[in-house]
Amino acid sequence: MIYFRRADVLMIGDFFRRGYPNIGGTANCMIEALGMAAAVCGPNTKVVPGHGPVMSRADVIAHKDMLVAVRDRVAEMIKQGKSEDEVLAAHPTADYDATALKDIALYYDNGTVLRYKNSDVFIKQLYEQLKPKS
């Protein structure tokens, strides 16, 4: 992240609000980074993501809150002994789909990137990170 104080602009890198995230590290680290970004932002800060339109502090917080909620839902289902297929079928992102998938084709419908068109990859990444290691 790079914060330009005088301009009140935060360049946040590979963050994007369209689609569900592709977790390159861990969900917990992504949540922590989004918290750090929100802490830097003021009420008028323009947040420039690596993908999609300019965002606000509220958008960063909403994305972080979604990650926390879905991570916790997946963790709870794993505790209950649910398989990856059962977690996918439970659709733990359902109440976020309208926002996360809105206008997704504008950013990723070039015929090559399909992984962001639903939450399956995101849920599978969470499941893999959160399941007990054998």
Structure confidence by residue, pLDDT tens digits, 42-76 = 999 999 988 778 889 999 999 999 999 999 999 99
| Structural domain count, the chain | 1
Q: Kindly give, in sequence order, each residue whose CB lies less than 8 Å from that of residue 113, ignoring residues fewer than 6 positions away.
A: none
N-to-C CA span, the chain: 36
Query: Which residues, given as ranges, of the chain have pLDDT below 70?
Result: 16-18, 103-117
Q: Are strands 9-13 and 2-4 parallel, antiparallel or unpaired?
A: antiparallel
The boundaries of the domain holding residue 47 are: 2-130
Residue type, 7: A
User: pTM to 2 decimals?
Assistant: 0.86
Distance, CA of 125 to CA of 122 (rounded, Å): 5
Mean pLDDT, rounded, of the chain: 86
> Residue 42 carries which side chain, given as an amino acid letter?
G
